[in-house]
């Protein structure tokens, strides 16, 4: 009960929990959550049992589908998504790394054709040893995950 009160409860929407401390702001920026005009509550550096510190994001009146949620996995591989209705968790799931990321990030290669044309960016997610890399469908260049999280 105490834990739930760390950040104000919401009536209806999505709670993204177990975001590594420091990634919360990036997620807000990347998914342009703040542009949606919905009330968003963010908790940064909250105490968390195993992880020591975590970030947490509550977005009211917005329900993430699994595909959207999985895009988060690039920033927060252990995040859990809680869908809330009438203050109750109606569904809870872990994000899993998507095979493809479409229309989320711009290609870091400035000479990539995807920048000038009426199309979505499109990356294939590759697991290399411990790391995740993204390969652009168009220019075929491969980028470190870090490159995306550094972008503005």
Partner 1 sequence: MNNPLYQKHIISIPDFSRQELELIVDTAQSIKQQPRPELLKNKVVASCFFEASTRTRLSFETAVQRLGGSVIGFADGGNTSLGKKGETLVDSVKVISSYSDAFFMRHPQEGAARLASEFSSVPVINGGDGSNQHPTQTLLDLFTIYETQGSLEGLKVAFVGDLKYGRTVHSLTQALSLFGCEFYFIAPKALAMPDYIIEELNAREIKYNLHDSIEEVVDELDILYMTRVQKERFDETEYQHMKSSFILRADMLKQVKENLKILHPLPRVDEITTDVDTTPYAYYFEQAENGVYARQALLALVMTNEFGAQ
Q: 98: which 2 tokens?
A: 């998507």
Task: Please give the Cα distance from 86 to 103 (Å, whole number).
Answer: 32
Does the protein bind partner 1 through residue 117 (CB under 8 A)?
A: yes
Using alpha carbons only, how large is the chain's radius of gyration in Å?
16
Cα dihedral across residues 63, 69, 71, 74: positive or negative = positive
Nearer to partner 1, 113 or 151 (CB): 113
Closer residue to Zn ion (CB): 21 or 139 = 139
Residue from 138, 144, 145, 149 touching partner 1 (CB under 8 A): that is 138
Q: Residue 128 interacts with partner 1 (CB under 8 A)?
A: yes
- Quote the CA–CA distance of 17 and 118 in Å, as a whole number: 35
Specify the residue, 33 or 139, whose C-beta has the smaller distance to Zn ion.
139
Contact footprint for Zn ion (CB under 5 A): 107, 109, 112, 136, 138-139
Q: Strand, helix or coil at 63?
A: coil
Contact between 64 and 73 under an 8 Å Cβ cutoff? The reply is no
**Taking CB under 8 A as the rule, which mask of x and - marks residues 92-111 in contact with partner 1?**
-----------------x-x
- Pick 14 or 121: Cβ nearer partner 1: 121
Asked if 116 interacts with partner 1 (CB under 8 A), we say yes
């Amino acid at each position: 009960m105490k834990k739930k009160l760390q950040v104000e409860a919401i009536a209806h929407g999505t709670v993204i929990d177990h975001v590594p401390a420091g990634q919360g702001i990036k997620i807000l920026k990347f998914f342009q959550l703040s542009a949606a005009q919905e009330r968003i509550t963010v908790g940064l550096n909250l105490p968390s049992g195993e992880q020591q510190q975590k970030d947490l994001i509550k977005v009211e009146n917005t329900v993430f589908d699994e595909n959207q949620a999985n895009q988060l996995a690039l920033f927060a591989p252990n995040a859990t998504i809680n869908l809330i209705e009438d203050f109750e968790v109606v569904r809870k799931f872990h994000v899993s790394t998507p095979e493809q990321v479409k229309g989320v990030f711009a290609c870091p290669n400035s000479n990539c054709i995807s920048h000038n044309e009426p199309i979505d960016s499109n990356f294939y997610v590759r697991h290399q040893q411990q790391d995740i890399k993204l390969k652009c469908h168009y220019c075929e260049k491969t980028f470190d995950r870090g490159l995306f999280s550094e972008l503005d």
